[in-house]
């Protein structure tokens, strides 16, 4: 299978924070942001695999900044690494200052999706070929995250986690 670039799966969703989507502090509900991130990640996974892709796990979410009512929010997602049937999707969340229009990073997340066939069985997908320095950094880190996850789940022996050994040597 021919490798694809992260840019080929890039998904950008921009929306406004409405009153019905906020908590009593007038900030975007965390669950609402999670749903937006999941939708963007799903589209990215589909663009990469050209298959139905399902959420396998939410590996990391950082709510670093509150997103106030009326904010313009942009969710950017792309495949950071593809394994046999699974893909790591890296998501950046940006908010736009209402006065200056300047964007600042508010949150980030890492999801894992699995490509499946019509009856829900995992299917093989194309690898990723990172191009930019950031893409290369996220690509390399994805293998460490996957190995750590497998070790913690008891599906890989710590001695076999080659990428994790390198961190501690």
Give pLDDT, residue 56: 94
> Please, are residues 73 and 15 in contact by the beta-carbon 8 Å criterion?
yes
Does the residue 82 lie in any domain?
Answer: yes
Contacts 24+ apart (CB under 8 A), 23-26: 25/66, 26/68, 26/69
Does the residue 146 lie in any domain?
Answer: no
Does the residue 134 lie in any domain?
Answer: no
Which pTM does this prediction carry?
Answer: 0.90
Give pLDDT, residue 147: 85
Query: What is the number of structural domains in the chain?
Result: 1
> Please, are residues 62 and 107 in contact by the beta-carbon 8 Å criterion?
yes
Q: What are phi and psi of 8, to 5 degrees?
A: -70, -20
Does the residue 164 lie in any domain?
Answer: no
Among the listed residues 83, 91, 115, 100, the one whose alpha carbon sits nearest the alpha carbon of residue 36? 91
**How do the pLDDT tens digits run along the chain, 169 residues long?**
899 999 999 999 999 999 999 999 999 999 999 999 999 999 999 999 999 999 999 999 999 999 999 999 999 999 999 999 999 999 999 999 878 889 999 999 999 999 999 999 999 999 999 999 999 999 999 998 888 888 778 888 877 787 777 665 5
Segment (H or E) for 127: none
Give pLDDT, residue 168: 58
Give pLDDT, residue 131: 97
Does the residue 163 lie in any domain?
Answer: no
CATH of the domain at 40: 3.10.129.10
Give pLDDT, residue 61: 95
Does the residue 100 lie in any domain?
Answer: yes
Domain ranges, residue 67: 6-129
Does the residue 102 lie in any domain?
Answer: yes
Does the residue 157 lie in any domain?
Answer: no
């Amino acid at each position: 299978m021919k490798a694809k670039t992260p840019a080929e799966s890039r998904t950008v969703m921009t929306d406004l924070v409405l009153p019905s989507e906020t908590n009593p502090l007038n900030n975007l509900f965390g669950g609402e942001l999670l749903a937006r991130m999941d939708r963007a990640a799903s589209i990215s996974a589909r663009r990469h695999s050209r298959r139905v892709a399902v959420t396998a796990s939410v590996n990391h979410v950082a709510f670093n900044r509150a997103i106030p009512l009326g904010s313009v929010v942009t969710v950017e997602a792309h495949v950071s690494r593809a394994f046999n049937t699974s893909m790591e999707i890296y998501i950046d969340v940006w908010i736009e200052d209402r006065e200056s229009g300047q964007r600042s990073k508010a949150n980030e997340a890492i999801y894992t999706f699995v490509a499946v066939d019509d009856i829900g069985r995992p299917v093989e997908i194309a690898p990723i070929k990172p191009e930019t320095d950031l893409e290369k950094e996220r690509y390399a880190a994805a293998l460490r995250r996957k190995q750590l996850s497998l070790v913690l789940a008891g599906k890989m022996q710590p001695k076999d986690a080659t990428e994790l050994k390198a961190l501690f040597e």
